[in-house]
């Protein structure tokens, strides 16, 4: 007697595939044309995959060569190691895609990268929202905003309380001091001005260079305008209300005005802060409890993960970018060292810091001081679809 295996229904196959991690789906594209179309063009499947699939967290580097590079981090074994790989491809439409777009700044949100340049005439006035996993891009006209040195961040909100519906993405543009604020809505393809004081009511942004996205909201350091002596707090910006008053968490340590601070995301669940008071060798890494879209100040707490006593020669600056492996208690710091004998040269380095105060140094680039500042960030591959101008959607919406 011949035994046959019953064929799975189309719905059953899709239910299985939407639980497969994103990087594995990429390898399945060539299996059949139907699956390839499903992964690339079906927005409904993309939303279900975002809700159901296991999240993978990868490391990316922005190098001195204006490229985004996947970074392999091996924390197993006796000697942790880091390898910066070749850059991802982002063709520049200004040159008929024959050249690569030079990325001077990058911001990660929901598997999408918001990439900016330095406002040079070569690139006109466009910035780009890019999904490096699917290759989809959305080029945005930014006027003179890049030339003015403004900061761009990306966020989203759900259009109703049902999380299976589409996300609406916005770009927030603000000056280094948090004023002159504008918002760009991808679904309407338009910029609009937000009056000063409405973005952070009662607070001012203390350092717009350290901003991160978690579950659609953007977080930054801020001080209360009426009580600046109370120190720095962590403020969350809600892209639905376009205000940040609903989340304000004082930092675990309040020191002088000019301590070294940096902010990072831990496995898309928590926030971590890097604190080095008084520019000393004393360093502390603190982590919040889990944060979601309903979190308020009273529901979040801080836990110290690492307390380090580093060699002052390590030259950690207030430009430091870092990633934390909370389980292994290891921090990756990305820094630029200037060459004192030749101010036109610099060395970009990654430092692996552990609770034993040992430091492993990895050099990954030799650049010039005018090159873009290196950065390291977590990236979560996803099938997130970028809204087209006018709110148009891909098939399957």
Tell me the per-residue pLDDT of 207-216, one tens digit each, with 9 for 90 and over. Answer: 767 899 999 9
Residue 255 has pLDDT above 70, yes or no: no
Range picked from 78-87, 105-114, 329-338 for highest mean pLDDT: 105-114
**Residue 332: which of 154, 114, 112, 83 has the closest Cα?**
83
- What's the chain's average pLDDT? 81
43-52 helix and 33-41 helix, angle to the nearest 10 degrees: 80
Q: By the 8 A CB rule, do 239 and 155 touch?
A: yes
pLDDT of residue 366: 64
Please determine, for residue 89, whether its predicted confidence score (pLDDT) is greater than 50. Answer: yes
Summarize pLDDT for 219-247 with one digit per residue, the tens: 999 888 888 777 788 989 999 988 886 78
With a cut of 50, say whether residue 4 has pLDDT above it.
no
Comparing 377 with 122, the larger pLDDT belongs to 377
Q: What is the mean pLDDT of residues 245-262?
A: 75
Mean pLDDT of 346-351: 83
Structure tokens at 9: 């229904």
Q: What is the pLDDT of residues 279-301, one digit of tens each?
A: 667 888 999 999 877 766 668 89
Comparing 160-174, 223-237, 312-326, 349-363, the range with the smallest average pLDDT is 160-174
- Specify the pLDDT at position 6: 54
Report CA torsion sign: 41, 46, 239, 106.
negative
């Amino acid at each position: 007697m011949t035994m046959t295996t019953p064929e799975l229904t189309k719905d059953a196959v899709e239910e299985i595939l939407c639980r497969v991690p994103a990087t594995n789906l990429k390898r399945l594209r060539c299996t059949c044309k139907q699956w390839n179309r499903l992964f690339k063009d079906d927005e409904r499947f993309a939303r279900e995959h975002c809700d159901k699939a296991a999240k993978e967290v990868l490391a990316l580097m922005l190098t001195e060569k204006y490229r985004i590079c996947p970074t392999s981090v091996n924390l197993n074994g006796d000697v942790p190691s880091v390898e910066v790989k070749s850059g991802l491809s982002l063709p520049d439409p200004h040159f008929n895609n024959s050249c690569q777009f030079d990325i001077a700044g990058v911001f990660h949100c929901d598997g999408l990268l918001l990439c900016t340049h330095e406002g040079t005439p070569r690139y006109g006035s466009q910035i780009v929202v890019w999904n490096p996993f699917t290759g989809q891009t959305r080029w945005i006209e930014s006027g003179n905003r890049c030339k003015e040195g403004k900061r761009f961040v990306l966020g989203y909100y759900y259009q109703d309380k049902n999380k299976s519906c589409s996300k609406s993405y916005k770009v927030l543009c603000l000056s280094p001091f948090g004023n002159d604020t504008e918002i760009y809505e991808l679904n309407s393809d338009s910029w609009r001005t937000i009056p000063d004081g409405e973005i952070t009511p009662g607070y001012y942004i203390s350092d717009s260079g350290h901003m991160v996205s978690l579950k659609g909201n953007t977080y930054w350091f801020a001080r209360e305008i009426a009580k600046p002596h109370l120190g720095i707090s962590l403020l969350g910006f809600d892209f639905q209300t376009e205000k940040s008053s609903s989340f304000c968490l004082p930092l675990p340590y309040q020191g002088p005005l000019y301590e070294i601070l940096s902010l990072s995301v831990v496995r898309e669940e928590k926030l971590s802060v890097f604190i080095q008071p008084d520019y000393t060798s004393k360093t502390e890494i603190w982590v919040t409890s889990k944060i979601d879209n309903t979190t308020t100040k009273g529901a979040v707490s801080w836990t110290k993960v690492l307390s380090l006593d580093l060699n002052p020669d390590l030259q950690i600056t207030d430009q430091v970018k870092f990633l934390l492996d909370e389980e292994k208690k290891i921090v990756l710091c990305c820094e630029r060292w200037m060459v004192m004998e030749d101010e036109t040269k610099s060395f970009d380095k990654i430092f692996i810091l552990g609770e034993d105060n040992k430091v492993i140094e990895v050099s990954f680039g030799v650049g010039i001081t005018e090159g873009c500042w290196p950065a390291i960030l977590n990236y979560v591959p996803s099938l997130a679809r970028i809204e087209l101008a006018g709110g148009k959607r891909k098939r399957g919406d």
